[in-house]
Amino acid sequence: MIRIDVLTLFTEMFDSPLAFSIIKRAKQNGLVEIVLSNIRDFAKDSYKKVDDKSYGGGAGMVMMCQPVLDCLEYVQKSTFAKATADKQDSRPARIILLTPQGKKFDQRLAKELAAEQRIILIAGHYEGFDERIRISAGAEEVSIGDYVLSGGELPAMVIIDAVVRLLPGALGDEDSAANDSFSDGLLEYPQYTRPEDFNGLKVPDVLLSGNHKEIEKWRKQQALEKTKKNRPDLFNKSKNSD
Residue 127 or 161: the one with the smaller Cβ distance to ligand 58G is 127
Q: Does 99 bind ligand 58G (CB under 6 A)?
A: yes
Of 94, 100, 141, 184, which is the active-site residue? Answer: 100
Residue 206 and residue 23: Cα distance in Å, rounded? Answer: 36
Closest CB 227 distance from ligand 58G, rounded Å: 23
Of 9-17, 118-126, 204-212, 234-242, which part binds ligand 58G (CB under 6 A)? 118-126
Asked whether position 76 contacts ligand 58G by CB under 6 A, the answer is no
CA-CA distance, 104 to 83, in Å (whole number)? Answer: 35
Q: Which of 98, 166, 167, 177 binds ligand 58G (CB under 6 A)?
A: 98
> Which residue number, 59 or 148, has a Cβ lying nearer to ligand 58G?
148
Cβ-closest position to ligand 58G: 128
Active-site choice (41, 127, 184, 225): 127
**3-class SS string, 144-174:** CCCCCCCCCHHHHHHHHHHHHCCCCCCCCCC
The secondary structure element, H or E, covering residue 207 is helix 205-208
Contact pattern from residue 125 through residue 164 relative to ligand 58G, giving x for each residue in contact according to CB under 6 A and a dash for the rest: xxxx--------------xxx-xxxxxx--x---------
Instruction: Considering the complex, state which of residue 157 and residue 170 has its C-beta at the smaller distance from ligand 58G.
Output: 157
Given the rule CB under 6 A, which of 45-53, 66-74, 124-132, 133-141 is the region that contacts ligand 58G?
A: 124-132
Using a 10 angstrom Cβ sphere, with 0-12 exposed, 13-18 middle and 19 or more buried, the burial of residue 212 is: exposed
180 annotated active-site: yes
10 sits near ligand 58G (criterion: CB under 6 A): no
Angle of helix 153-164 relative to helix 107-114, nearest 10 degrees, comes to 70
The answer to the question of residue 81 lying near ligand 58G (CB under 6 A) is no
- Part in contact with ligand 58G (CB under 6 A); list of ranges 93-101, 178-186, 214-222, 230-238: 93-101
Distance of CA 18 to the CA centre of its chain: 12
What are the residues facing 36 on neighbouring strands? Answer: 6
| Main-chain dihedrals φ then ψ at residue 63, nearest 5 degrees | -65, 130
DSSP states along 11-67: GGGGTTTTSSHHHHHHHHTTSEEEEEEEGGGG--STT---EEEPTT--SSEEE-HHH
**Given the residues 116, 180, 188, 225, the one annotated as active site:** 180
Clarify whether 73 is annotated catalytic: no
Residue pair 52/64 in contact by the 8 Å Cβ criterion: yes
Residues in contact with ligand 58G by the rule CB under 6 A:
98-100, 124-128, 143-145, 147-152, 155
Q: Residues with catalytic annotation?
A: 100, 127, 165, 180
